[in-house]
Amino acid sequence: MTRAHLTAFAGLLLAPAACGFSLPAIGLPAISHDALISLESAFAASALATTLLHPIDTIKSRLQSDSFCLSSTGSTLQQCQPSATDASRQPLLDDLYTGLPANILKEAPDAAVYLAVCESMSQSMLSQSGWWASHVTLALLISGAIGDAVGSVLRLPAEVVCKRMQTDTLAAGDTSAHGLAASWLAILYRDVPMGAIQIATYHAAQPYAQALLDGADAVAAGTPSCAADVLAGALAGTVAAALTTPLDVLVTQQTTRAPPTDGKKQAFDPIELGLELVREQGVLTLTRGLGFRIMYYAPLTGCFFGLYEHIRDLLGGASGL
């Protein structure tokens, strides 16, 4: 990582403060021993899974960037020809581990906060109200959405750096308060529904994964094997990644675009950016990287939940989600 990279990363770390952002109080219970174990387990599991699968994420990010676009017929994805003023474009399969430290910093702290908040909130909701106990999926959707929203504060600077390193746009990216605020909004648009869908699907898929791999006795005992956790996590990752791919395209576009040269502010609302992309390239442009996003998040989420439950058991935590 060059001095320019370090300077840019340092600036991005201060982005939330520069934009005037602060976390609201959400009334979570005090951090318990089990919550600390959740934090540690989720961090370690996410770091290991991210390291293994980072090359797939790099390919996906490059396909979603301005380096690639749909053909005139809208049927194929092709590498765009750079103009004389463009920065050099990163070849699709070169240096696939570019940005790995930033990706770990993007995924691991966010995952730790996400699961700690999600577990604390869902357990509190389910234990305090019989209504929530009879609407478990809704409780998980809400707690998962809030957990990922809180984690996005830690995710923002590392995600911007990671995507710009993967697409070779770190020096040219927009580092203004307006650009970084727009990037955070795009990340929230993607991560809030993804966090909700992922945890709710994982919880719903666990009994079926247990029945398939462990048998009816294990389902009755409520003791899923590591393989069942991995399978349920992979299904959750597939569903969440597929449904949020259009929003992920907007995140990549927003975080890697260069600042305007005419002094005008670019679109702040991700939906406005999406409509602009659809007008220029058609609606299929919002599916760019769909296959690679599923190829990344299905094994990533499967490995994450499998490792999370295993590490949690090793550290002596209570049973999680």
pLDDT attached to residue 103? 93
The angle subtended at Cα 56 by Cα 81 and Cα 80, nearest 5°, is 5
Residue 70 has φ and ψ, to the nearest 5°, of: -75, 145
Q: How confident is the model at residue 16 (pLDDT cuts 50, 70, 90)?
A: very low
pLDDT attached to residue 31? 54
Q: How far apart are CA 266 and CA 284, in angstroms?
A: 22
3-state SS, residue 158? helix
What average pLDDT does range 244-272 have in this prediction?
Answer: 82
* Higher-scoring residue by pLDDT: 305, 320: 305
- How many other CB atoms are there within 10 angstroms of residue 5's CB atom? 16
Strand partners, 70: 77
How do the domains of the chain map onto residue ranges?
Answer: 32-70+92-315
* Higher-scoring residue by pLDDT: 221, 37: 37
pLDDT attached to residue 263? 60
What average pLDDT does range 88-99 have in this prediction?
Answer: 77
pLDDT attached to residue 264? 63
Q: How far apart are CA 273 and CA 63, in angstroms?
A: 17
Looking up tokens 């955070």, which residue turns up? Answer: 184
Torsion angle of C-alpha atoms 245, 248, 250, 251, degrees rounded to 10: 180
Crossing angle for the helix pair 33-64 and 136-166, to the nearest 10 degrees: 50
* Most confident of the ranges 34-38, 235-239, 263-267: 235-239
What average pLDDT does range 164-175 have in this prediction?
Answer: 79
Asked if the model's pLDDT at residue 72 lies above 70, the reply is: no
Q: What is the mean pLDDT of the chain?
A: 81
pTM: 0.78
* Higher-scoring residue by pLDDT: 163, 34: 163
For 191-237, how does the pLDDT look when each residue is reduced to its tens digit (9 = 90+)?
A: 999 999 999 999 999 989 998 988 877 667 767 788 999 999 999 99
pLDDT attached to residue 76? 53
Q: How confident is the model at residue 21 (pLDDT cuts 50, 70, 90)?
A: very low
pLDDT attached to residue 261? 67
105 Cβ partners below 8 Å, 6+ apart? 158, 162
Q: How far apart are CA 93 and CA 275, in angstroms?
A: 29
Is residue 52 within 8 A of residue 295, CB to CB? The reply is no
Asked if the model's pLDDT at residue 7 lies above 70, the reply is: no
pLDDT attached to residue 91? 72
CATH 1.50.40.10 fits 32-70+92-315, yes or no: yes
What average pLDDT does range 68-93 have in this prediction?
Answer: 56
Q: How confident is the model at residue 110 (pLDDT cuts 50, 70, 90)?
A: very high
Asked if the model's pLDDT at residue 138 lies above 60, the reply is: yes
Distances (CA, A) of 203 to 19, 122, 129, 227: 36, 12, 19, 15
Torsion angle of C-alpha atoms 23, 24, 29, 34, degrees rounded to 10: -20
* Most confident of the ranges 84-93, 132-141, 154-163: 132-141
pLDDT attached to residue 196? 96
Torsion angle of C-alpha atoms 279, 285, 286, 287, degrees rounded to 10: 160
For 279-292, how does the pLDDT look when each residue is reduced to its tens digit (9 = 90+)?
A: 988 899 999 999 99
Q: How far apart are CA 67 and CA 14, in angstroms?
A: 28
pLDDT attached to residue 311? 85
What average pLDDT does range 130-136 have in this prediction?
Answer: 91
Distances (CA, A) of 313 to 29, 41, 155, 180: 22, 9, 27, 39
pLDDT attached to residue 119? 87
Q: How confident is the model at residue 318 (pLDDT cuts 50, 70, 90)?
A: low
3-state SS, residue 223? coil
pLDDT attached to residue 90? 62
- Burial code (b: 16+ CB inside 10 Å, e: under 16) for 253-271 equals bbbbbbeeeeeeebeeebe
Q: How far apart are CA 129 and CA 213, in angstroms?
A: 33
